[in-house]
Amino acid sequence: MIKFIKEVGKSFSAYISALRFINQNKMWPYIIGAAFFNLFAFIFVGIVAWLYTGNLIDWLYSFMNLPPDWKEWTGLVQIALSIFIRILLFLIYLNLFKYIILFIFAPVLAFISEKTQNILHKESRTLKLHHVVRDIIRGMFIAIILISLQVVSWLLLVLLCISLPLLAPFYAILLFLIESFFFGASMMDYRNEYFGLSVKESLIRIFRHKGIAFGNGFCLNLLILIPVLGVLFGPSLAVISAAIASNRTLE
């Protein structure tokens, strides 16, 4: 437990180190470029989701059989339903976007992570196309593994919530904490890939140093809650922070 707490502390402090690292090594052009990529993905996926929201609202409304006495309230009910569904879907979308990052943002995060390691180790590896493709595939593969593990955790929490509904608020907090670990784990894997670790070896190292993964993902989860800036800059800052904290800790 003491080891876990110390590693979480290292992971938290690594975010401050990451900001200094970005400033000292003039990496803001890469970070801003990644932010624009992230913004484009956020808007594109958001627009697609918004367009299909109307169809979902119409579909749900078709199942509603209001009493005859409520006919004068039909318009108001439909407006209220529309607002509720759009707000709900927006919140769901914000949560899902973190998983979208793990997939479509993989090549960008891989590039930033490799750039970070090159600077930290005073190396200059040439970024080759087959490496990029490999990183994308690996990033997606790791994302699938981690998301699958998280889905299992979700299902267990749902069962607990059904069994003990009074503790539902605590399950929500627990879900946030579990989610944080898996996000941090995905960020740590970019560092492990740089050092040539296989997926299996990477996961072993990650689970051996759960505090680093949890601390990194916890900060990322909090950053994403910050409107606009969190979504744009959080992932890039997280992957640099994971590189710094992991280099200090992993053997």
Q: How far apart are CA 39 and CA 233, in angstroms?
A: 10
Q: Determine the pLDDT at residue 214.
A: 93
* Three-state secondary structure readout of 165-223: HHHHHHHHHHHHHHHHHHHHHHHHHHHHHHCCCCHHHHHHHHHHCHHHHHHHHHHHHHH
Mean pLDDT in order along the chain per 10 residues (251 residues) = 86 92 90 84 72 65 57 60 65 66 76 86 67 70 71 71 65 79 87 83 88 92 82 88 88 58
Tell me the pTM.
Answer: 0.77
Between CA 235 and CA 28, with CA 135 as vertex, the angle to 5 degrees is 40
Question: For residue 77, what pLDDT is reported?
Answer: 59
Judge whether 27 and 233 are in contact, CB under 8 Å. Answer: no
Indicate the helix (H) or strand (E) that contains 8: helix 2-24
Q: What is the pLDDT of residue 61?
A: 60
